[in-house]
Chain A
């Protein structure tokens, strides 16, 4: 079946603009995660949803970052007033179980470049 999909795959935006990154999890997966990966680094946790509930947003860097998953499926990560330091690969993952121990399957990521 289809894996996790993300769009857009590449996004170039000017400093100060808002961007919205979309994640479409594997069908039926109840848990969804966002990670951010800077160049030369491993992914770092941003936030976690169980169904539509945002269970943990402790990894979001500041209040310019927000995420939602209103119907428990597709999720959107929004960055307001982008800054150059926001440039990174944003990765989404989903897992099948309602517990926190399900194996996470990653999407291809969105490469964000802020100029």
Chain B
């Protein structure tokens, strides 16, 4: 059974700092990995989706990397801003089997960026 772990569970940083969120997964047979942002009262917003054949994806100040063989992904946020404060979730999609639509999520990292 796939297990996804996110470290740290919570992180508080001053504005302007660069930071890294970590995600690890136990089964490397994944189709893709996705990073989501969760804001209170809102849905999950997809930030970056990395296919299993890719090593990284970038969007603005965000960069996500994937090392499928070691079961790890990182989300790098450059020059953090208070508006980045949210919970960040990592989710993997399996590559094999009849249930390859099921996303398995980690518990998330609660990020607080202080002005």
Chain A interfacial positions (CB closer than 8 Å to B): 3-4, 9, 31, 33, 35, 40-45, 48, 56, 58-59, 91, 95, 100-101, 103-109
Contacts and interface: CB of A to CB of B under 8 A. Distances in A.
Interface SS of chain B = strand
Contacts of B101: 31, 33, 48, 56, 95, 100-101, 104
A9 B43 CA distance: 11
Contacts of B42: 108
Nearest to A108: B43
18 contacts: A3-B43, A31-B101, A33-B101, A35-B103, A42-B107, A43-B89, A43-B103, A43-B105, A44-B105, A45-B103, A45-B104, A48-B101, A56-B101, A58-B99, A95-B101, A101-B101, A106-B45, A109-B43
B87 to A, nearest CB: 9
A92 B105 CA distance: 15
Interface of B: 4, 31, 34, 36, 41-46, 49, 89, 91, 93, 99-108
Nearest to A3: B43
A41 B104 CA distance: 11
B107 to A, nearest CB: 5
